[in-house]
């Protein structure tokens, strides 16, 4: 099995990067949709269902599959011999960042359910503030992998 992972390493790394880009695009965009949903849907008749559809499709068709792919390819990289030095700090900080990003993804999914059920209580300002969370997590992840401290 390890020989296969070594042979697949460049492909695994490429697909991991592509899935991370797709996931991050959704992670950055969905909170912005929530801001517009809160601030504009109440002012324009019929706009709420449009936002509901956009949010649901972004989450289900782009974010969920890309998150799963990111995890699958990431775990393949982790199990490829010689890639991760577990005595270093960086794999642990990256893992913490990825777990944080996964938590944020699920938090966004719960907010979408709130919108769909008409139970959203958060303001546009709160969604703007939460939109900074993935930026901070991304910085931790990228610095961890590139600097490898």
The Cα–Cα gap between 68 and 48 comes to 29
% of residues, the chain, pLDDT over 70 = 100
pLDDT bin (cut points 50, 70, 90) of residue 46 is confident
Helices (runs of H) and strands (runs of E) counted in the chain: 6, 0
- 34: its two tokens: 């929530």
- 110: its two tokens: 């719960």
pTM, two decimals, is 0.92
Predicted local confidence at residue 45, as pLDDT? 77
35-45 pLDDT, tens per residue? Answer: 999 998 777 77
69-117 pLDDT, tens per residue? Answer: 999 999 999 999 999 999 999 999 999 999 999 999 999 999 999 999 9
């Amino acid at each position: 099995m390890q020989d296969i992972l070594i042979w697949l390493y460049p492909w695994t790394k490429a697909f991991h990067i592509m899935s991370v880009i797709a996931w991050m695009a959704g992670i950055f965009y969905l909170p912005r949709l929530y801001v517009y949903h809160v601030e504009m849907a109440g002012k324009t008749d019929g706009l709420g269902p449009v936002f509901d559809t956009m949010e649901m499709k972004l989450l289900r068709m782009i974010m969920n599959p890309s998150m799963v792919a990111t995890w699958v390819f990431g775990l393949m990289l982790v199990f490829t011999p010689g890639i991760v030095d577990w005595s270093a700090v960086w794999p642990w900080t990256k893992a913490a960042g990825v777990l944080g990003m996964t938590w944020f993804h699920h938090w966004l999914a719960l907010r979408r359910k709130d919108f769909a059920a008409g139970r959203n209580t958060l303001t546009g300002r709160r969604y703007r503030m939460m939109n900074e969370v993935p930026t901070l997590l991304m910085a931790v992840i990228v610095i961890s992998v590139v600097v490898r401290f």
